[in-house]
Amino acid sequence: MLLTQTTTAQPDSIARAEKVERRRLARNIVLSRARARMSQHTLAQRAGVTRATISNIERASGSAQVGTIFRIASALNTTAAALLSDPELPNESDDDLDQLAARESERAIDTHDLLAAVNEAYGEADVVFPRYSRAGRPRLRREVMADATP
């Protein structure tokens, strides 16, 4: 009976772990694609897969074959291990933080490129993000109440 309980609980934990890994892969591909300033279409062509495959992987809605992950990594000039791993966490020493900052400047991503990649991943490729400043906002209409005299 203990064996039965163990085997029924195991698929749930495996499914959760797979979901976490799919999300990690999706996040890393979107970030790498944004860093490379590459569209889903371009990445798909370079990796030899369809754009729908890239879209499904980036939305973590489908699983990817190992060969596909290697081809995507190659098209992004990175490794499959980098696409499947968590980002590095900085150590607490100042020297380590300085080294990390130097490495990160090489991996920096333009905000607009990142937003464009995220939008494309979630099917909103033509979304334009408006810029607002106090000067550019429309004025609020304030209605004066005629009966508001004290």
* pLDDT of 12: 79
- Domain membership of residue 70 as a residue range: 13-121
- Would 27 be classed as within a structural domain? yes
Q: What is the CATH number of the domain that holds 93?
A: 1.10.260.40
Query: Over the stretch 22-56, which tens digit does the pLDDT of each residue have?
Result: 899 999 999 999 889 899 999 999 999 999 999 99
- Would 133 be classed as within a structural domain? no
Q: What angle do CA 111, 95, 85 make, to 5 degrees?
A: 50
* pLDDT of 142: 57
The domain total for the chain is 1
- Would 7 be classed as within a structural domain? no
Task: Return mean pLDDT, the chain.
Answer: 75
* pLDDT of 63: 80
- Tell whether the model's pLDDT for residue 74 goes beyond 60: yes
Query: Over the stretch 106-134, which tens digit does the pLDDT of each residue have?
Result: 666 777 777 778 777 777 655 455 554 55
* pLDDT of 135: 55
Closest CA to 58 of 80, 35, 85, 25: 25
Q: Are 43 and 75 in contact (CB under 8 A)?
A: yes
- Would 82 be classed as within a structural domain? yes
For the chain, the farthest-separated pair of C-alpha atoms sits apart, in whole angstroms, at 80
**Max avg pLDDT among 55-64, 80-89, 100-109:** 55-64
- Would 136 be classed as within a structural domain? no
**The two structure tokens encoding residue 139:** 């004025």
* pLDDT of 2: 41
- Would 68 be classed as within a structural domain? yes
- Would 79 be classed as within a structural domain? yes
- Would 26 be classed as within a structural domain? yes
